[in-house]
Amino acid sequence: MDPRNRRRWFGTAIRGLGLLAVTATLATGCSGDDAAGTTGPTSTPAATQTGDPGGTRYVNLGDSFGAGTGVRPLVEDSPIYCQRSAKNFAHIVAAEEGLDLTDVSCAGAETADFRTAQFEGVPPQLDALHADSDIVTVMIGGNDKATYGRAIDLCSKAADTNPLGAPCTDRYGQSLIEPIAEDIYPALRAALRDVKAKAPEAKVYLVGYPWLMPPTVGCYPEMKLAVGDVPMMRDLQTSLNDYGRRAAEDEGVRFVDMLPTSVGHDACAGSQRWIEPMTTRGPGAVHPNERGQEAIAEQVRKALAN
């Protein structure tokens, strides 16, 4: 595996966050819960294709939130590193709208993986786009500069020192949020420009990320963040989505905002959650569960209809 992928949060193990099962999965192949026939990335197709080849051509690009990492079953014969679910939002939208889907979303993807191979046997995601592509959904940015991963890793470790305080905010402050404006925003703009260049006639939608945490307090230890650090994590998510919206507007792309509809469905929402907490075993921790993917699909379908 490319060493840079070990530092990614979406679809990558983070020490101490209950995500170590991802490493075991990648090392040993599929577990008994995986879709039958799934094998390693060097012997499997990079893209998942469904639907009528003569129908409306829909391409899904993105990271593990878009891939549906942690939601079973995996797409049969898809690259195991990508952890691509047969029940991710793109598959739901394609089935309900009768679209011809090509899904190249992949756990751990950064915007750079649109242009370069992420893993052996997993080509640049932009390769899936063509002049006759009709619809493109993009869910990307959270792995760039390890933005979410670094914040969650550092803040979960800091929480051990003062779970009722704000140790991460006190120690790191805005340094965890600053890369969004400085690095991720221009990277998103460049990625969206590349998408439009490859698929100039397509309707392109940048899908935002749903809330991971409630506004205050949180739910330590299910989400291992100190009480006083929860607002900073919300600020980070707000910034990532705000700059995603801005990048979409700048490049003439529709933005699908998941923040309003995901209020009350964060990882601390118990039976109402759309995000699995850190204590969930396996790669689904801190990712949308099946209900979360269905909710994203609903918002994408609404965007398609407008």
Kindly list the catalytic residues: 64, 287
Euclidean distance between CA atoms 29 and 258, whole angstroms: 32
Euclidean distance between CA atoms 110 and 89, whole angstroms: 19
Best CA proximity match to 1, nearest among 154, 111, 153, 118: 118
DSSP state of 248: H
Burial class (CB in 10 A: 0-12, 13-18, 19+), 131: exposed
With vertex at residue 187, the alpha carbon angle to CA 181 and CA 192, rounded to the nearest 5 degrees, is: 120
Q: Which alpha helices (DSSP H) does 183-281 contain, by range?
A: 185-198, 230-250
φ, ψ of residue 259 to 5 degrees: the values are -70, -50
Q: Are 18 and 280 in contact (CB under 8 A)?
A: yes
Euclidean distance between CA atoms 243 and 212, whole angstroms: 17
